[in-house]
Amino acid sequence: EDFYGSLNTMYHVGLHSGKSVHKLNAMLVDLDYYKINAFKDLNAEQIIGLLEQELDYLTPSYYIDSGRGLYIIWLLEDTYATRKSKSYWTKIEKTLIEVFKNFGADEKVHDVARVIRIIGSVNSKTGKEVRVIESPYLLNGSVAKRYEMGDIAEYFWGSRELFYLQGHYVTFKTVENFC
């Protein structure tokens, strides 16, 4: 019951902090859709169907039923965790949370040392097993897709960079609308 692990590689086992992250392996959205009245009686597969109908987002590597909510995971190509790459990762994470907020994206889940429930473990709050629901790529018999962080940023921001405008970070799409 309730086994957790980090998506990102740590330097030392048991040392759980952003400073301990060695490699960035994935981006994550943790959907607590059960907290939203309109979605609380739906299962993870039904939520995926709604997401695919309602939102424009980059196809994830995996959807995982956390036993109560839904993890949406985009695997990353080899990315060493430098101060700059961790900052970039966090900005992209915050964008992902914003994109999925109406479906219960947990706003606290944007740190590089984040742990999630391990597949095959049991969520003690519900008694349900954590399981992979689907990987759009595995359905074709191929391996799960991995992304460069810049590709994810470009998909959502229209650029690989955020711009600083009038005291705020903004996306290229926002800058176009502003000018």
The per-residue pLDDT for 52 is 93
The amino acid at residue 146 is: R
The per-residue pLDDT for 5 is 82
Written as tens digits, the pLDDT of the chain (179 aa) is 888 888 877 776 666 666 677 889 999 999 999 999 999 999 999 999 999 999 999 999 999 999 999 999 999 998 888 888 888 999 999 999 999 999 999 998 888 878 888 889 999 999 999 999 876 666 566 678 899 999 999 899 887 776 544 454 545 444 444 44
57-86 residues labelled b (16+ CB within 10 A) or e (exposed): bbebbbbbbbbbbbbbbbbbeebebeeebb
167's tokens? 């005291």
The per-residue pLDDT for 177 is 44
109-112 — which CB contacts under 8 Å span 24+ positions? 109/28, 109/29, 109/30, 111/18, 112/8, 112/18, 112/21, 112/24, 112/81, 112/86
Nearest to 152 by CA among 51, 83, 79: 79
The per-residue pLDDT for 179 is 41
* Residues shown for the chain: 179
The per-residue pLDDT for 137 is 61
The per-residue pLDDT for 174 is 44
The per-residue pLDDT for 141 is 62
The per-residue pLDDT for 4 is 85
- Distance, CA of 43 to CA of 48 (rounded, Å): 9
The per-residue pLDDT for 43 is 95
